[in-house]
A and B are shown apart, each in its own frame.
Chain A
Amino acid sequence: MKHATIFLLYVAQYMKTRLTYRVDMLMEIMSDLLFQAVNLIFILVVFGHTDMLSGWSKDEIIFIYGFFLVPFAIFGAFFNIWDFNERYIVKGEMDRILTRPVHSLFQIILERMELESLFGVITGIAVMVYAGKQLDLTLSWYDPFVFLFMVLGGAFVYAGIFILLASISFWSDSRTSIMPMMYNIGNYGRYPVDIYNKVIRFVLTWILPFAFVGVYPSAYFLGREEWYGYAFLTPVMGAAFFGIAILMWNIGVTKYRGAGN
């Protein structure tokens, strides 16, 4: 209960500051949209030259991309911690966080929230609806609930990976650019994993399971039964990775010694 109240207070505060700089917020939403468009254009242009991508059609790939945008938007809105190392460890902000009686990760998430990213949920669903129409997909009554579970699973996979990476900073405080690297790798989960070689497929499934944010859960909605096993693992992987990440974070915090003198 306490956490919910704190969350709502932060959201209210966030809205106030954001609405003060309206042009800025608009520009950010626009540049997010542009970013989403660029990936879509890539798919469209590529399929101007080929019909199938290892057995997946253009509309299927577009559908996967649309799905990916939804968990990614949720991740972007609440787990925007890519500069954790620089902000909280190098600059010593972590000291301030640890003096307060609320879980440290929860506070950081609230402080770094970027709610305008949630706009991506709308774009993602729009893209899926478009592709779904082209593919003549039909929905059962339970599909929206499955969708919800899959989306949360995907978002938690993403969050888990990034929290794990952020936790590394507790042990090694040197600057690294490992976070932007992960953003790039995250993109590969959007394409059918059967195009990659075995090693990459294994990594994208079990080590950095980005495939669970795009292609695997989408396979369920696309009726690709050969991938159903992986598809239904999505919420499990999300819970598992997020759980491990929180555990690592909690251990990491006890190792934190503070910056400066």
Chain B
Amino acid sequence: MGKYIEMIRVRFLMMLAYRTNYYSGILIYSINIGAYYFLWNAIYGGKGEIEGLSVVQMTTYVAVAWMARAFYFNNIDREIAQEIKEGKVAVEFIRPYHYLMMKTMQGLGEGIFRLSFFSIPGMVIVGLIFPIEFSAAFSTWMFFMIAIILSFIVNTQINLLTGVLTFFFFNNDGLIRAKRVVIDLFSGLLLPISFYPGWAQDVMDFLPFQAISYIPSMIFTEGFTGSAVWEAILFQLVWVIILILPIQALWVIAKKRLIVQGG
């Protein structure tokens, strides 16, 4: 266990080295949230609410969705693909840890870094400029914490899956790019799932993506209340468990058919 915690620490310190990146990072996120703020204001026009969200809740939703993204987002799929292509992964097999677990921990190190130096200060800045409602209820914050941890796990699992697929496709840059676009759309980052037409919502109920962004953001904006919160968290948990299976299966097959390309 200690070695995994060490991974988190090392990655956290690595991130600290690229200082300019987080100043510009906060700026990127603020500008993004700002533009969506104006866009949503125009979309709402004079309407009081759309699909149960008021315009202030919508601004909060956008802000929280982007700030939560800083925590769950990582590039471990790219890193895994790179290490597979360079043949470094062969060495990883004989090391005394589980390779995928180690990658997850590195992603977590990045996530904790971005959450503390990026999301929290960013949220303060955005909160000063735009009308955002923070809930006063302790339970909302607690459920939100649980939900973003689960969204980190689901997103990381999907990243592991796309990363490991490099074993089978050799070069999967296209797949990684496609995955990112699909997640932005179906996770609820750009649009709350409740805005989609009914049939699309039904389809998305059978996919893991809304566990990534929609659920934590809805919990934070109190778009979900009462038993809906519990159901949403259960939804995330179920996907965390389901996704272990294909990852593990692919990993076992990949180990058997490992072809080292050079190195």
Query: Is A177 engaged at the interface, CB distance under 8 Å to the other chain?
Result: yes
**Residues A24 and B171 in contact in the complex (CB < 8 Å), given A31-B181, A175-B18:** yes
Q: A181, B43: Cβ atoms under 8 Å?
A: no
Q: B42, A27: Cβ atoms under 8 Å?
A: no
**Contact-residue bracket for chain B:** 35 or more
B222 to chain A, nearest CB (A): 20
Q: A49, B43: Cβ atoms under 8 Å?
A: yes
Instruction: Provide the A218-239 mask, 1 if CB < 8 A to any CB of B, else 0.
Output: 0000000000000000000000
Q: A38, B181: Cβ atoms under 8 Å?
A: yes
Query: Is A244 engaged at the interface, CB distance under 8 Å to the other chain?
Result: no
Q: Which of B124-180 contact A (CB under 8 A)?
A: 169, 171-175, 177-178
Instruction: Provide the A37-71 mask, 1 if CB < 8 A to any CB of B, else 0.
Output: 01001100110111011100000000000000000
A61 to chain B, nearest CB (A): 11
Q: A41, B39: Cβ atoms under 8 Å?
A: no
Q: What separation, in Å, do the CA atoms of A146 and B253 have in the docked complex?
A: 57
**Residues A53 and B27 in contact in the complex (CB < 8 Å), given A42-B190, A45-B196:** no
Q: A177, B172: Cβ atoms under 8 Å?
A: no
Q: A200, B34: Cβ atoms under 8 Å?
A: yes
**Residues A191 and B39 in contact in the complex (CB < 8 Å), given A24-B171, A27-B172, A31-B174:** yes
Query: Is B75 engaged at the interface, CB distance under 8 Å to the other chain?
Result: no
Of B32, B38, B169, B182, the residue contacting A197 (CB under 8 A) is B38
**Residues A181 and B18 in contact in the complex (CB < 8 Å), given A31-B174, A50-B45, A200-B35:** no
Q: What separation, in Å, do the CA atoms of A28 and B172 have in the docked complex?
A: 9
Q: Which residues of A contact B34 (CB under 8 A)?
A: 200
Q: Which residues of B contact A27 (CB under 8 A)?
A: 172-175, 178
Q: A178, B24: Cβ atoms under 8 Å?
A: yes
Query: Is A207 engaged at the interface, CB distance under 8 Å to the other chain?
Result: no
B12 to chain A, nearest CB (A): 18
Of all chain B residues, the one with the shortest Cβ separation from A49 is B50
B190 to chain A, nearest CB (A): 6
B38 to chain A, nearest CB (A): 5
**Residues A196 and B38 in contact in the complex (CB < 8 Å), given A38-B184, A48-B197, A49-B50:** yes
Query: Is A188 engaged at the interface, CB distance under 8 Å to the other chain?
Result: yes
Q: B21, A24: Cβ atoms under 8 Å?
A: no
Q: Which residues of A contact B41 (CB under 8 A)?
A: 195
Q: Which residues of B contact A26 (CB under 8 A)?
A: 174
B162 to chain A, nearest CB (A): 12
Q: Which residues of A contact B21 (CB under 8 A)?
A: 175-177
Q: A21, B178: Cβ atoms under 8 Å?
A: no
Q: Which residues of B contact A19 (CB under 8 A)?
A: none
**Residues A52 and B20 in contact in the complex (CB < 8 Å), given A30-B178, A31-B178:** no
Q: Which residues of A contact B177 (CB under 8 A)?
A: 28, 31, 35
Query: Is A34 engaged at the interface, CB distance under 8 Å to the other chain?
Result: yes
Q: What separation, in Å, do the CA atoms of A43 and B32 have in the docked complex?
A: 17
**Residues A184 and B31 in contact in the complex (CB < 8 Å), given A34-B181, A41-B185:** yes
A97 to chain B, nearest CB (A): 25
Q: What separation, in Å, do the CA atoms of A53 and B44 have in the docked complex?
A: 9
Q: A49, B38: Cβ atoms under 8 Å?
A: no
Query: Is B202 engaged at the interface, CB distance under 8 Å to the other chain?
Result: no
Q: What separation, in Å, do the CA atoms of A255 and B42 have in the docked complex?
A: 46
**Residues A195 and B39 in contact in the complex (CB < 8 Å), given A28-B174, A200-B34:** yes
Q: Which residues of B contact A258 (CB under 8 A)?
A: none
B237 to chain A, nearest CB (A): 28
Query: Is A180 engaged at the interface, CB distance under 8 Å to the other chain?
Result: yes
The 10 closest A-B pairs by CB, nearest first: A27-B174, A195-B42, A31-B178, A31-B177, A181-B28, A38-B185, A28-B174, A196-B38, A188-B35, A49-B50
Could you show 18 A-B contacts with beta carbons less than 8 Å apart? Answer: A27-B178, A31-B181, A34-B181, A38-B185, A42-B185, A45-B191, A49-B43, A49-B50, A50-B43, A50-B50, A174-B20, A177-B20, A184-B32, A185-B31, A195-B41, A196-B38, A200-B35, A200-B38
Q: Which residues does A use to contact B, with CB under 8 Å?
A: 21, 23-24, 26-28, 30-31, 34-35, 38, 41-42, 45-46, 48-50, 52-54, 174-178, 180-181, 184-185, 187-188, 191-192, 195-197, 200
